[in-house]
Amino acid sequence: MASSAPMPLTASSSASNDLVTHVTGDLFLAPAGSILVQACNTQGSWGGGIAVAFKARFPQAFSVYNTHCTTKDDNRLIGTCLLIRAAGGVSGEQHDIACLFTSRRYGARKDTPAQILEATGRSLLDLKRQNMEGKELHAWRVLAKRAKLNMLTHLQQVQFRQIWRTLGGHSSRR
């Protein structure tokens, strides 16, 4: 029977001038004190994809996120970042959680790919503004897929990658 133990993060090869490091393993094993980044809707729902794992692992952070969403207007949230400081996980790990508001809804009603990309860019810039300590950023690889880069123009793909690189982000593959 295969082991279900999480895989530690291991770096893969990348260009020396590339600030983005692609790693393989469990996002939640990122170094303590770093920022775990996820794309979120403005409805206060962590009900699908990696968000389910965030909700299970960081229930208090989910409560902060949900309250934030239910007390704010969708149009004021979209394109912003809610940075939840020192979110203690159920296993005792300490990370900041960055909720990038990339879509007003989720599922079949989510925003268009172009709207998601635009909101993702603004959210990442808001995260950069809030990350005054320069903490490492770690995101699951699906963040890029969330913006459906394959459906966007080459210019839009380049813009997304430039913003992520500027932030020095790390992407985890599972």
User: Any idea what the CATH number is for the domain that residue 156 is in?
Assistant: 3.40.220.10
Tokens matching residue 55: 């909700």
Name the residue among 78, 84, 74, 21 with its Cα closest to residue 54. 84
In a domain, 22, yes or no: no
**Domain-located, residue 127:** yes
Q: Round to whole Å and give the CA distance between 76 and 174.
A: 33
Q: How many separate domains does the chain show? A: 1
Query: 118 in a domain, yes or no?
Result: yes
The residue range of the domain holding 38 is 30-173
Residue 140: inside a domain: yes
Asked if the structure places residue 124 within a domain, the reply is yes
Beta strand spans in the chain (E): 10-11, 21-24, 35-41, 81-88, 94-103, 137-140, 169-173
Is residue 24 assigned to a domain?
no
Beta partners for residue 88, in sequence order: 94
**Distance in Å from the first CA to the final CA of the chain:** 19
pLDDT tens for 74-92 read 899 999 999 998 777 777 7
Q: What are 27-76's pLDDT values in tens digits?
A: 888 888 889 989 899 999 998 888 899 999 999 999 999 999 999 998 99
Domain-located, residue 7? no
Query: Average of pLDDT values for 101-127?
Result: 87
In a domain, 20, yes or no: no
**Taking the model in full, what pTM does it have?**
0.74
Of the candidates 151, 133, 141, 159, the residue with the CA atom closest to the CA atom of residue 9? 141
Query: How far apart, in whole angstroms, are the C-alpha atoms of residue 90 and residue 18?
Result: 34
